[in-house]
Amino acid sequence: MKQRFLCVPLFGPPGVGKGTQGKILATIPGFFHLSVGDVFRSIDIGSDNGREVYKHISRGQLVPDDLTIRIWRKAVEAYVALSWFKPREDLLILDGMPRNVHQVELVKEYLDIRKVIYLKCSDEEGMIHRIRRRAIRENRIDDANEEVMRHRFRVYREVTEPVLQNYDSSIIHEVDANGSPAEVLRAILDCLIPVQNDLFAANRREEETKTGS
């Protein structure tokens, strides 16, 4: 996978609504949402990778970096091969990576990150309640244990939150996640539309160069 993909990560603590907003964006032409957590949960738990992933997420731990990148690359390559993700046309909305400072360096080979959308919510107890409801609704085992959930928040504060310090503040777009889903979506689109327009403009210039017009 030599191509670097134009990308905007969704960033924020567990339960803040990254998956909800990502799924909404996925219905809009020109956006492709990829949740690393969903990729992990779709792996055959009987496989070597599946057992290794489950061992970590069931404890609220981060999956090791090398394994995360390997599984993510395989998923992206499959989506490109199936034409579900068209890198020339689609802006990649990435949910769940990078999750630590080391991954910031690892993904540079694959991602051209133009903006980082930081969904902020100070109500940790509210987010834990939201996660518990989601665990019941979606049968997500990794979200069902409250002790595991609280550990995930500690990991986020200690390991994931410092990721933001590795990006220029000018590309970090803060969004108040306490609003309604529609309000949050509007704030996200305010950030994404200019990036998407840049992608469309680059494609137009490429087509004009090919046709000589």
CA-to-CA distance for 71 and 57, rounded, in angstroms?
14
Provide the residue type at 113 as one letter.
I
Residues 6 or more apart whose Cβ sits within 8 Å of residue 201: none
Read off the pLDDT of residues 126-184 as tens digits, 9 standing for 90 and up.
777 777 777 666 666 666 677 888 888 899 999 999 999 999 999 999 999 988 899 99
Read off the pLDDT of residues 171-199 as tens digits, 9 standing for 90 and up.
999 999 988 899 999 999 999 999 999 88
- Per-residue pLDDT band for 209 (boundaries 50, 70, 90) equals confident
As a whole number, the mean pLDDT across the chain is: 89
- Residue 66 sits in a domain whose CATH number is 3.40.50.300
* pLDDT in the model for residue 204: 84
Please give the model's pTM, rounded to 2 decimal places.
Answer: 0.86
- Sole residue written with tokens 């949050």: 184
Residues 6 or more apart whose Cβ sits within 8 Å of residue 11: 18, 116, 117, 118, 119, 163, 164
- Structurally, the chain folds into a number of domains equal to 1
CA-to-CA distance for 63 and 77, rounded, in angstroms?
20
Higher pLDDT, 147 or 30: 30
Residues 6 or more apart whose Cβ sits within 8 Å of residue 199: 6, 30, 89, 91
Provide the residue type at 101 as one letter.
V
CA-to-CA distance for 23 and 121, rounded, in angstroms?
19
- The domain of 77 spans 5-211
Region of poorest pLDDT, from 68-82, 131-145, 198-212 = 131-145
Per-residue 3-state assignment (H helix, E strand, C coil) for 176-197:
ECCCCHHHHHHHHHHHHHHHHH
Give the three-state DSSP class for 44.
coil
